[in-house]
A and B are shown apart, each in its own frame.
Chain A
Amino acid sequence: MDRAENQFSGGRKYRNDDITVYWKPAACVHASYCYRELIEVFDPSRRPWVDMSGSTTDKIIEVVNLCPTEALAWKWNDDKKNATIGTDQVNHIKFRRPELMNIIEPVKEEHPVSVKIMVDGPIVLKGSFTLSYDGNTKEVNDNLISICRCGISDHMPFCDGQHRKIGFNG
């Protein structure tokens, strides 16, 4: 299945004149790149939480591309642009941010598991690893999970975004 196509089904949509941003809350692991990079557009305490008038199209595209999950995606409103310059622009932006490549790129065989301590946020694990908790063991293959670090998640051991509410500093 084409991951990109899958990202545009379901969820909510937010438009400006150039692009539409797609939001799938169930896919979010609270890695928090979006609001740390661009709170003017992505503010979890506001309703609706996405305000497309808060920044430029280029900046919104850049930040949506930082999202390590399928929770945020974007498309040009002009379908002709999606067919021609869409992909190039995505790749261009990713290459400009080499420090983020290994959380965005699919993990290949033999690659170490990426363990990221997010700023005042969760532990984001990406890759292929054996996860055990509550006496159960499961294989995680080329996937991503986020583990609570602040101690107050209602969805333990996973992050549910509450670190932001308590102002977790860690």
Chain B
Amino acid sequence: MELNSENKSQAKVEIIEFGPLKITGNFLLKDLKRDKEESLGEVLLCRCGRSANKPFCDDSHKK
């Protein structure tokens, strides 16, 4: 266990300032509201609450 304690990271999660949440790598997206499950390599998720394409970013935060 100790030997494997480093570098366990499966994905990169980046909070983009005044922008969306960017996730890349090995992750599974489950949308409980729309009952969808997807395995995507990269995703941009809305953080401002205004996207018309939730849960994804549609650049509404720039308006």
Binding site for B on A (CB under 8 A): 102, 109-120, 123, 125, 127-134, 139-142, 147-152, 157, 168, 170
Binding site for A on B (CB under 8 A): 4-5, 8-15, 17, 21, 23, 25-34, 39, 43, 45-51, 54-55
Contact status A129-B12, CB under 8 Å = yes
Closest residue on chain B to residue A139 by CB atoms: B9
A139 to B12, CA, bound (A): 10
Closest residue on chain B to residue A111 by CB atoms: B10
A152 to B47, CA, bound (A): 9
Contact status B49-A149, CB under 8 Å = yes
A131 to B50, CA, bound (A): 24
A53 to B62, CA, bound (A): 48
A102: chain B residues at CB < 8 Å are 28
A130: chain B residues at CB < 8 Å are 9, 11-13
Distance (Å) between the CB of B54 and the closest chain A CB?
Answer: 5
Distance (Å) between the CB of A149 and the closest chain B CB?
Answer: 6
Contact status B26-A112, CB under 8 Å = yes
A151: chain B residues at CB < 8 Å are 47-50
Closest residue on chain B to residue A110 by CB atoms: B10
Distance (Å) between the CB of A119 and the closest chain B CB?
Answer: 5
* Given A132-B13, A149-B49, A151-B47: A115 touches B33 (CB 8 Å cut-off): no
Closest residue on chain B to residue A166 by CB atoms: B49
Contact status A170-B32, CB under 8 Å = no
Contact status A170-B25, CB under 8 Å = no
A119: chain B residues at CB < 8 Å are 32-33
Closest residue on chain B to residue A118 by CB atoms: B32
A113 to B31, CA, bound (A): 14
A115: chain B residues at CB < 8 Å are 23, 27-30, 43, 45
* Given A113-B27, A134-B17: A128 touches B8 (CB 8 Å cut-off): yes
Distance (Å) between the CB of B18 and the closest chain A CB?
Answer: 10
